[in-house]
């Protein structure tokens, strides 16, 4: 195995068990090593520190597989790590065969670049780094060894792969073929998911705790559910006793799926699905002086990179302002950010500024984050990305 050396002083993050090594920290940063190959990471004195995957195209030149430099990265290694990740989900009570969960969450499960969502007996795999791609076959075979997995579908079509010079790929990978539609059960609700065509791997398991909270608070409420996707929050709200729900999303197929999910759960109550731009729609509702008892705002990542910080923050604030404006007295706003660049303190400040602009007083009654199958690894704070605030009007 090739030995790679760090610039003096750049071993500090490794000592704190952070698995990312940027090109600027690597002496041989232009070494002719094939993408994804395993290398030994040494300090400037040639002392081995870790084992990682080489990614020649990415600024993130090495992702560490193991902080034990004597470890071999082979089938056994992936068996152990995957078993560990599965065990955690089992402990969390998330292995219900009719349900689903995130089985492997990349760095948080010490498997950088590997994401696996389980839909019933099928796994949907996303490989996002050169190292993950290198071990694709072993990872797929190891997943198929799990007694509760009978087929694997690949959704390695996320644009982040371009940073690693990896082509986008989606399709059947191993075992039984994924049916076009799968129904997963969560808290007594059924959700139809289409992992081959949906966003990400098809369903947002990270919002499970948020769905629960919204269900608890929805009784008797007229709900405005913006960026509804396939209606997870709409079903949760009806299950909690909401009297009406207005959903909106720019994706027509997502809204069709939303409609089917509402029907599947027998929610024949009052709902509307609007296909369009939420930013425009909220302004239209504002001009009509429409009022709701609960407004949910769950936009896509509005800060995709550091350069979009200012613009993204303004968009979050704009949404919060409009959301607060549309609340009837005593109403509740649930606003979210899934941008990794956002932090809880800043999100609260933005939400506060939105309330100020809307001319309302509000108080936070709950804070939401990604569900436990997307844990935040303490040594890798970047694994935290989902902020949610539940605020209630106080006058
Ligand atoms: N709340 C959803 C997940 C939202 S994901 C859930 O519970 O599952 C973000 C959604 O925003 C996607 O469905 C995407 O189609 C939609 N979207 C993105 N930009 C939009 C815009 N400007 N107006 C309306 N919808 C938009």
For residue 23, what pLDDT is reported?
A: 97
Q: How confident is the model at residue 116 (pLDDT cuts 50, 70, 90)?
A: very high
Ligand 1 in reach of 233 Cβ (< 6 A)? yes
For residue 250, what pLDDT is reported?
A: 98
Coil, strand or helix: which one is 381? Answer: helix
For residue 199, what pLDDT is reported?
A: 84
Question: Which residue in the block uniquely carries the two structure tokens 């948080």?
Answer: 108
Mutational pocket test of ligand 1: of 210, 297, 299, the residue with most ligand atoms within 8 Å of the beta carbon: 299
Over the stretch 213-269, which tens digit does the pLDDT of each residue have? 999 999 999 999 999 999 999 999 999 999 999 999 999 999 999 999 999 999 988
Q: What is the CATH number of domain 204-393?
A: 3.40.50.150
DSSP code for 304:
-
Ligand 1 in reach of 229 Cβ (< 6 A)? yes
Mean pLDDT of the chain: 97
Over the stretch 87-102, which tens digit does the pLDDT of each residue have? 999 999 999 999 999 9
For residue 225, what pLDDT is reported?
A: 98
Ligand 1 in reach of 279 Cβ (< 6 A)? yes
Ligand 1 in reach of 298 Cβ (< 6 A)? yes
The alpha carbon of 30 and the centre of ligand 1 are apart by a number of angstroms equal to 40
The alpha carbon of 255 and the centre of ligand 1 are apart by a number of angstroms equal to 10
According to CATH, where is 3.30.750.80 located in the chain? 75-182
- Shortest-distance atom of ligand 1 to CA 336: 1
Q: How confident is the model at residue 200 (pLDDT cuts 50, 70, 90)?
A: confident
DSSP line for 142-186: HHHHSTT--EEEEEE--GGGGGGTPPPEEEEEEESPPPS-EEEEE
Q: Is pLDDT at 326 greater than 90 in this prediction?
A: yes
Ligand 1 in reach of 205 Cβ (< 6 A)? no
Q: Is pLDDT at 198 greater than 90 in this prediction?
A: no
Mutational pocket test of ligand 1: of 227, 302, 304, 338, the residue with most ligand atoms within 8 Å of the beta carbon: 227
Ligand 1 in reach of 250 Cβ (< 6 A)? yes
> Going by C-beta distance under 8 Å and a sequence separation of 6 or more, which residues neighbour residue 188?
239
Over the stretch 47-78, which tens digit does the pLDDT of each residue have? 999 999 999 999 999 999 999 999 999 999 99
For residue 337, what pLDDT is reported?
A: 98
Query: In the chain, which ranges are continuous DSSP H helix?
Result: 12-15, 75-91, 130-134, 136-145, 208-217, 232-239, 252-264, 278-287, 309-325, 344-358
- Shortest-distance atom of ligand 1 to CA 204: 8
Work out whether the CA dihedral 371, 373, 374, 376 comes out positive or negative.
positive
Q: Is pLDDT at 165 greater than 90 in this prediction?
A: yes
Both structure tokens of 175: 């075992």
What distance lies between CA 158 and its chain's CA centroid? 12
Are residues 298 and 336 in contact, defined by beta-carbon separation less than 8 angstroms?
yes
Query: In 2-45, which ranges are continuous DSSP H helix?
Result: 12-15
Helix (H) / strand (E) element for 54: namely: strand 48-54
How would CATH label the architecture of 3-66?
Roll (2.30)
Are residues 326 and 291 in contact, defined by beta-carbon separation less than 8 angstroms?
yes
Catalytic residue status for 313 = no
Catalytic, out of 42, 235, 334, 338: 338
DSSP code for 45:
T
113 CB neighbour count, 10 Å cutoff: 27
According to CATH, where is 3.40.50.150 located in the chain? 204-393
DSSP line for 233-292: HHHHHHHTT-SEEEEEES-HHHHHHHHHHHHHTT--SEEEEEES-HHHHHHHHHHTT--E
Q: What's the mean pLDDT in 138-142?
A: 98
Ligand 1 in reach of 227 Cβ (< 6 A)? yes
State percent of the chain over pLDDT 90: 97
Q: Is pLDDT at 201 greater than 90 in this prediction?
A: no
Q: Which CATH superfamily includes the segment(s) 75-182? A: RNA methyltransferase domain (HRMD) like (3.30.750.80)
**CA atoms of 162 and 108, how far apart (whole Å):** 22
For residue 268, what pLDDT is reported?
A: 86
The alpha carbon of 273 and the centre of ligand 1 are apart by a number of angstroms equal to 13
Ligand 1 in reach of 77 Cβ (< 6 A)? no
């Amino acid at each position: 195995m090739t030995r790679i050396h760090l610039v003096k002083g750049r071993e500090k993050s490794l000592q704190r068990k952070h698995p990312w090594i940027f090109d600027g920290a690597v002496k041989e940063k232009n070494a002719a090593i094939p993408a994804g190959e395993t290398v030994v990471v040494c300090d400037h004195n040639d002392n081995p520190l870790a084992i990682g995957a080489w990614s020649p195209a990415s600024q993130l030149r090495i992702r560490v597989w193991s902080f034990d430099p004597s470890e071999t990265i082979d089938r056994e290694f992936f068996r152990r790590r995957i078993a560990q990740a599965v065990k955690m989900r089992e402990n969390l009570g998330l292995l219900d065969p009719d349900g689903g969960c995130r089985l492997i969450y990349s760095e948080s499960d010490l498997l950088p670049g590997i994401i696996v969502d389980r839909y019933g007996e099928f796994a949907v795999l996303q490989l996002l780094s050169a190292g993950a791609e290198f071990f694709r076959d072993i990872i797929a075979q190891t997943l198929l060894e799990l007694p509760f997995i009978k087929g694997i579908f690949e959704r390695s079509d996320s644009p982040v792969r371009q940073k690693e010079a990896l082509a986008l790929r989606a399709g059947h990978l191993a075992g039984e073929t994924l049916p076009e539609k799968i129904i997963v059960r969560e808290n007594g609700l059924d959700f139809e998911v289409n992992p081959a065509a949906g966003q990400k791997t098809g369903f947002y398991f990270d919002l499970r705790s948020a769905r629960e909270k919204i269900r608890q608070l929805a009784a008797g409420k007229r709900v405005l559910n913006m960026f509804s996707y396939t209606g997870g929050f709409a079903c949760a709200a009806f299950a909690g006793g909401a009297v009406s729900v207005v959903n909106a999303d720019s994706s027509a197929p997502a809204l069709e799926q939303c409609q089917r999910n509402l029907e599947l759960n027998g929610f024949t109550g009052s709902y509307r699905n609007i296909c369009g731009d939420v930013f425009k729609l909220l302004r239209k509702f504002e001009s009509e002086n429409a009022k709701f008892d609960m407004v949910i705002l769950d936009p896509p990542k509005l800060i995709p990179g550091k350069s979009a910080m200012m613009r993204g923050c303004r968009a979050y604030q704009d949404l919060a302002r409009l959301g607060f404006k549309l609340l009837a007295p005593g109403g509740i706003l649930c606003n979210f950010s899934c941008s990794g660049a956002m932090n809880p303190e800043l999100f609260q400040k933005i939400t506060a500024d939105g309330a100020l602009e809307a001319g309302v007083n509000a108080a936070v009654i709950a804070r939401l984050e990604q569900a436990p199958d997307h844990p935040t690894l303490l040594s890798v704070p970047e694994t935290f990305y989902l902020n949610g605030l539940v605020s209630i009007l106080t006058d």
